[in-house]
Amino acid sequence: MCGRYVSTRRPEDLVQHFRATEWRPEETLAPSWNVAPTDEVWAVLERTPREERDGDGTSVRRELRPLRWGLVPSWAKDVKIGARMINARMETVHEKPAFRRAFVKRRCLLPADGFYEWQQITSGDTARPRKQPYFIHPEDGQVMALAGLYEYWRNPEVARDDDPAAWLTTCTIITTEATDAAGRVHPRMPLALTTDHYDAWLDPRNQHPGELRELLGTPGDGHLGARPVSSAVNDVRNNGPELLEAAAP
């Protein structure tokens, strides 16, 4: 699974890298070295403007916008379900009730510097096992584009649709079998897409499940590095570049 990750890139840099055409400068997120479930995170997605949705569907805009991590299905009775929907397995994402509609219509990319995983280790025959956190990241330092889904949830307690409080937009990260250094730490990892798959994954007009699943066949190119880090990352209240410093395993 992926329960924590790092996202410190400036929105201006993300707009350029992902070729986004829509971003509101007033929407800002602080850099985070300890992104946790229910946090606001940067997402890249494509949408047809509301005023043009009755047309031929050719006008699609690529947006950079903050979403809440932890997908809340449109049919959910309570937003608390989102805390349990931070990941969607690649093998079943197209058929699970919580994700299958979003898989066809609402896909996104979640920029990350890397992610954390925990490995259970034991020191000595009688020592109690503990979980050692590792920071896993591209060795070349490039941004990761984690494959994700997003969904809208309508708050029934707000009367007007045009009230910003009426809608909550949330997201989830798709995971797959771990490779490279990640596979030595944990059996699962977030699935990162290569740049040549960005367009096909984001395009809301691409609604063929079989073709979409082919994009998720293997993790993105590039070798991953992994280094043990301090257990300070275990506490979501800790946040800063010092979390990435190598620690003795």
Active site (catalytic) residues: 2, 117
Burial of 207 (0-12, 13-18, 19+ CB in 10 A): exposed
**Cα radius of gyration rounded to whole Å, the chain:** 18
- Phi, psi at residue 22, to the nearest 5°? -130, 125
Q: What is the DSSP string of 114-129?
A: EEEEEEEE--SSSSPP
Cross-strand partners of 7: 32
